[in-house]
Structure 1
Amino acid sequence: MDVRLKAFERLLNIMDDLREKCPWDRKQTLESLSLLTIEETYELVDAIQEGDMEELKGEIGDLMLHMVFYSKIASEKKAFDITDVLNAICDKLVHRHPHIYSDVVAEDEETVKKNWELLKLQEKGKKSILQGVPKSLPSMVKAYRIQEKVKQVGFEWEEIEEVWEKVEEELGELQVSVDDRESSERIADEFGDVIFALINYARYLKIDPEAALEKTNKKFIRRFKYIEDHATKPLADLSLDEMDELWDSAKKIEKNNN
């Protein structure tokens, strides 16, 4: 037997044992697992961003366990089993890659993505290309996916300069809203427009805005911890100028180490 199949069969058998014999595993439902799956997904992303391949292996395993767990619960409900799940994804992949499994020609990535979206609409009878964007996605990721979706039907700026002009336009509208002391709700709307435009600009620059922001978060934490570690008195007693001086020292150290 293929070692991959043997390993997968082992996981399925262990899942059967756990569901039958373990009080915790026996108690789990689709709903209770869903929150844990979200946590595991973020841990997978952390491992990728840290470049930790050993940790990544473990996180992939955790997510794979969850997929098997969901399938096991569904089989108990007589809804479907793991075989149905695997066959369904195989059928979907074959259908959405006609340039591989049929006579359709797609010589570049953009054509493949356009064909994928059109086939999705046909399969599920959807009336909007945006129906495929999950409602529960974090807002920044959702904005990126929305922009990627509409791009497939040509709703896209032609030049990156136009995208930046849109960012500047939205920034100007936000500033006017603040200067005119408009309602907090109106200012929030304008602020959201700025973020959406910046995410679009990041997309044109081939930058993942979520990953870029997380990198900045980590940089801020690293530098602030430097302030905490090198402060000669409690932070509350430091002036802003004193904290800025330590902050600049942290920046210089990072620059010298790079």
Structure 2
Amino acid sequence: MERNELMHLLEIKGLLSGEDSFTLVSGREAAVVPVTMAHVLVVKNCLPEEGKTLTARLLAVYEEDSPLIVMNHGDILRLRLKEMEIRKPGDRETILFDSRKAKERALSSYDLGSLEHTVHRLLAPGGCPWDRSQTHETLRTYFIQEVYEVIDAIDRKDMDNLKEELGDVLFQIIFHAALAEKEGYFSMQDVADGVRDKMVRRHPFVFDKNGGDSTISAPREWEKRKRIEKNRKYLLSGVPKGLPSLLLTCIIQKKVSSNGLQDLLFPEDLPADLEQQISRFLEDDREMDREKKAGIFLFALVHYLQEKGIEPELALHRSDTDFMSRLRSFEDFIMQKGKNLSDMSPEETLRLWKDFIAEKPSHWS
């Protein structure tokens, strides 16, 4: 059923008026569609499991007596969320939910007090000597490591490990806040309040009913609000130069693109330009020029990949981890032959590598 046809049917049945705005999605999107939008949400062709998923997500945000409407093969059912939860869902149902008629649940609280107490105990006299010797500067490497371990858990889809690694990152955050509180700068409560207030300011279309439409130039509007809020004179003010170069390039280009400047930096026929730049790089023997040209080529390549919807940092990281796995498999392969990689000649290594690829092509593809 097309959008206009469905809208007409809903108007006939008195479920929507011509003045009502609504978002229409399929049941396949029940697990990801936002459920807090300030107008009617229509989810069509819900399979039973999709209907259960949507109901569970609504119950996490709204009270049990919040109303919704179910269209089931011509029948119209007006239900409460608690009734929706216990009923046996039908096949290919259309569900209408108006958040304006629902009451949001009180935010469920969780207690970080015991974790904060643990951190402060470690830093107190008689606590851990190693922890007491740390500073914001000495903890930098550990913070980076914990964040990358979170990324690794996400890539492996290991939710148990993700929970653990998020805990390690949270510990780092509370540790830094405890150090700052000890020095008289700010507390963990200041951190939480600060980021909450920032998100409210930067999302007026969510928290301010007169804030406007979030769908119009959202990235550009976000950057504009940040520049005004931080009183930044230049577009790239505030971008940390100490970031890994590939990640720094991605951030620079996203900021440039969000302000409509990409056409000033990159030619229209980027693939052809990339070929031309790599040719110049290969032909030039001067060391400084080669380094400069290589940087220009990589900068343009990052832009090309992002235009294709690819995150270069994640793509390279995936390639790195794939290669590490492939190399481990190759080392297992040669160990089974009673050999060790460090003791082999380059010629023997290459020969066994070809045997490995021939025997286990899946490790190369």
2:275 aligns with 171
* Larger displacement relative to structure 2 (92-101 or 208-217): 208-217
* Larger displacement relative to structure 2 (129-138 or 56-65): 129-138
* Larger displacement relative to structure 2 (169-178 or 208-217): 169-178
Query: What are the residue-to-residue correspondences of 1:120-135 with 2, within 5 Å?
Result: 120-135=226-241
The 1:249–1:192 alpha-carbon spacing in structure 2 relative to 1, beyond 3 Å, is farther
For residues 226 and 153 of structure 1, the distance between their equivalents in structure 2, rounded to whole angstroms, comes to 46
The 1:38–1:221 alpha-carbon spacing in structure 2 relative to 1, beyond 3 Å, is closer
Amino acid at match of 2:300: A
* Larger displacement relative to structure 2 (220-229 or 68-77): 220-229
Alignment check: 8 A CA contact 1:113 1:152 kept: yes
Instruction: Compute the displacement of 1:97 (Å).
Output: 0.7
For structure 1, the residue ranges without an aligned partner over 5 or more in a row are: none
For residues 206 and 170 of structure 1, the distance between their equivalents in structure 2, rounded to whole angstroms, comes to 18
Deviations 1:28-53 (Å, cap 9, x if unpaired)? 11111122111111111111111111
Paired residue for 2:224, among 110, 118, 123?
118
Amino acid at match of 1:19: L
TM-score between both structures, scaled by the size of structure 2: 0.62
1:12 aligns with 116
Instruction: Compute the displacement of 1:219 (Å).
Output: 2.7
For residues 114 and 212 of structure 1, the distance between their equivalents in structure 2, rounded to whole angstroms, comes to 25
Paired residue for 2:325, among 222, 241, 245?
222
Instruction: Compute the displacement of 1:253 (Å).
Output: 6.0
Instruction: Compute the displacement of 1:161 (Å).
Output: 9.6
Alignment check: 8 A CA contact 1:223 1:250 kept: no
Amino acid at match of 1:200: H
| Greater share of residues in strand | 2
Instruction: Compute the displacement of 1:63 (Å).
Output: 0.9
Amino acid at match of 1:168: A
Query: What are the residue-to-residue correspondences of 1:51-200 with 2, within 5 Å?
Result: 51-102=157-208, 103-108=210-215, 111-157=217-263, 162=268, 165-181=269-285, 183-200=286-303
The 1:203–1:180 alpha-carbon spacing in structure 2 relative to 1, beyond 3 Å, is closer
TM-score between both structures, scaled by the size of structure 1: 0.86
The 1:61–1:192 alpha-carbon spacing in structure 2 relative to 1, beyond 3 Å, is same
Structure scoring higher RCO (CA < 8 A, sep ≥ 6) equals: 1
Alignment check: 8 A CA contact 2:277 2:293 kept: yes
Aligned-residue RMSD, C-alpha: 2.6
For residues 310 and 330 of structure 2, the distance between their equivalents in structure 1, rounded to whole angstroms, comes to 30
Identity fraction in percent? 29
Instruction: Compute the displacement of 1:3 (Å).
Output: 6.7
SS of residue paired to 2:137: helix
Deviations 1:75-112 (Å, cap 9, x if unpaired)? 1111111121111111111111111122222342x622
SS of residue paired to 2:221: helix
Deviations 1:99-132 (Å, cap 9, x if unpaired)? 1122222342x62221111111111211112113
The 1:24–1:39 alpha-carbon spacing in structure 2 relative to 1, beyond 3 Å, is same
Amino acid at match of 1:23: P
For residues 146 and 362 of structure 2, the distance between their equivalents in structure 1, rounded to whole angstroms, comes to 36
Alignment check: 8 A CA contact 2:357 2:363 kept: no
2:134 aligns with 28
The 1:141–1:179 alpha-carbon spacing in structure 2 relative to 1, beyond 3 Å, is same
